[in-house]
A and B are shown apart, each in its own frame.
Chain A
Amino acid sequence: MNRKKIQVLSIPYVIWIIGFTVIPLLFVFAKAVTSPQGAFTAGNLIAIFDPVHRKALFLSIELAFISSILCILISYPVALILRSSKIRNKKIILFVMILPMWMNFILRILAIQMLISKNGLINHFLSLLGLGKISIINTEAAIIIGMVYDYLPYMLLPVLNCVLAIPDDIIEASKDLGANRFTVLTKILIPLSLSGIGSGITMVFVPSMTEFVIANILGGGKIMLLGNVIEQEFSVTMNWNLGSGLSVTLMIFVLLTTLISGRTVSETDKGFVI
């Protein structure tokens, strides 16, 4: 009886998944393996080897990779500092860090655009100081800045969760056994927080790789990620079949990433949840 009740509760979720995930995916797969005329073809899937698409795919992976690394490099020290700090209410610090997430991400990207544009705030400030202007708008660097700014909280949260959950006893024990700070970091802290880094990578790498809005706004339409190619196929060229084919290819890469980084997330995270 109880089991049945629980099954009833899952109905909204099942309807949601079928209506908004399963059926749309079936449409995408159906489009991906047919030509615009409706005949069966593998051309849309092979199209990823076209030089233009291949280049866009590699660029997407490259930028997502760099963004993920930067997110780790920023988040991990923060987690360590928070861990060792004496501040009572760490939740408040965390709260401040993820506060930007409360704003729409496109607005945040537009704000970045204003900051780094040619006559933007940063350049205005630099010229007031008598320094030269920097020009990063409409480059790959600008896109990376946008991705890091947008997705940093997704790395910070799981990493912080994991690092804070490591018991002090283990570290004290290792120190008693003669480990120096470097050894503690490489042999204790990092291995024990790999699951957090793993889920962080999944949550940063995957959206970065499929990104097209940030690339459009901060790349000035000059840089084509695979997400942009797909968007163009759907909205401009109106070749939904090719767009679907490329989407399926991208999904395969997303799946691979999730599998690889997911291997480290086998343990359940304990403790710190905001």
Chain B
Amino acid sequence: MKKTITIILLIAMICTLSGCKGSSSGGSLTVFNYSEYLDPEMIAKFTEETGIEIKYEEATTPEELYTKYSSGAISYDLLCTSDYMVKRLIDEGQAQEIDFSSLENYKNIDPKFEKLSESFDPGNKYSLPYFWGTVGILYNTKMVKEPVDSWDVLFSGDYSGQIIMQDSMRDSFMVALKYLGYSLNTKNEEEIKDAAALLKKQKSDVSSYLVDEARDEVVAENAVMAVVYSGEAYLGNEYNPDLAYVVPKEGSNLWIDSWIVTKNCKNTDAARKFLDFLCREDVASANFEYIYYSTPNKAAVDAMDEELRSNPAVVPTDDSIKNCEVYEAFDEKTNALYNELWKEIKSQ
């Protein structure tokens, strides 16, 4: 008797562990995404509607995502990552072409993203935009003398000891390069060194170099301003109504996170269904309300209430992004130069 119970329990356990449900016949998809970057209810909804099971995996940074993906321990069917990493994966032949004409809801995606995606996905063959945004200055309107509209406030010395820069080579160099009027993708050694000299000079004015905490420090009024991603700015504003976000007039970085179907994906029909599902207005709106980053989904933008739609941190205006550029991957030599100079700045 005891033995029988043990065996039944064991079988039950194995079934739960391996996820064998017996009933769902629509197959399964392994989806890889940034953490907290998709409303978990939407995954349940997708399985409910299509019978396709989703195995969901998460990573925090593009580098971590890439490392996990290329280790090959798990075979991912779909993954969502940032522009320059999308390019790297495409260049390495890891992506499959997507048949966009078969995606019923693809029409919801604003056509301007086809042009913006060109820099990392020439011809728009492999990637489907998911979220996007800008990098700009989050500042406390009560602690500045005049409205902020230029990177100049970070270099003038007026707010010495009260500014926070991004603790990331690319994002900090971007600020200096744009301020000097150069491209943020420049490979010109003189221009890069100019930017490094500017950042070195600026260091004594910088309170700290942070990533995730940058927003919180401005919210807590430990700093007057910080370089942040637009999505962070919206949340910062929720916590402290005195905060405002601006994309400086010299231009900035425009980033796009996109989905790609990997070359390992066998069940392309299911992958197509998943991408089409993500483009649907109700799903895109649910995901937007889960993370509050800017959505490329025009139908979802139209469905927002007026106050949200007019918030430049949520829906960047065409005017604010006219000088913005998408990051392009550097060649090895340029990358080494940037890293070397960044290390010098940080250790100064």
Contacts and interface: CB of A to CB of B under 8 A. Distances in A.
A and B form one complex: yes
Contacts of A52: 343-344, 347
Contacts of B209: 220-222
Contact of A235 (B63, B161, B207): B63
Given A52-B343, A138-B208, A229-B347, A222 B222 contact: no
Contacts of B45: none
B203 interface: yes
Contacts of B223: 118
Contacts of A119: 220-222
A129 interface: no
A213 to B, nearest CB: 14
Interface string B147-181: 00000000000000100000111000000000000
Q: B interface, by DSSP: helix, strand, loop or mixed? A: mixed
A118 B222 contact: yes
B75 to A, nearest CB: 23
Contact of B347 (A138, A224, A235): A224
Interface string A41-60: 00000000000100110000
B206 interface: yes
B210 interface: yes
A261 interface: no
B186 interface: no
A220 B208 contact: yes
B339 A222 contact: no
A257 interface: no
Q: A interface, by DSSP: helix, strand, loop or mixed? A: loop
B343 A224 contact: yes
B346 interface: yes
A258 interface: no
Interface in A193-222: 219-222
Nearest to B67: A238
Contacts of A237: 339
Interface residues of A, number: 22
Interface in A36-76: 52, 55-56
Contacts of A81: none
Nearest to B169: A236
Contacts of A238: 63
B347 A220 contact: no
A205 to B, nearest CB: 22
Interface of B: 63, 161, 167-169, 203, 206-210, 220-223, 339, 343-344, 346-347
Given A220-B209, A229-B343, 13 more contacts: A219-B208, A220-B208, A221-B209, A221-B210, A221-B346, A222-B203, A222-B206, A222-B209, A224-B346, A224-B347, A236-B63, A237-B339, A239-B339
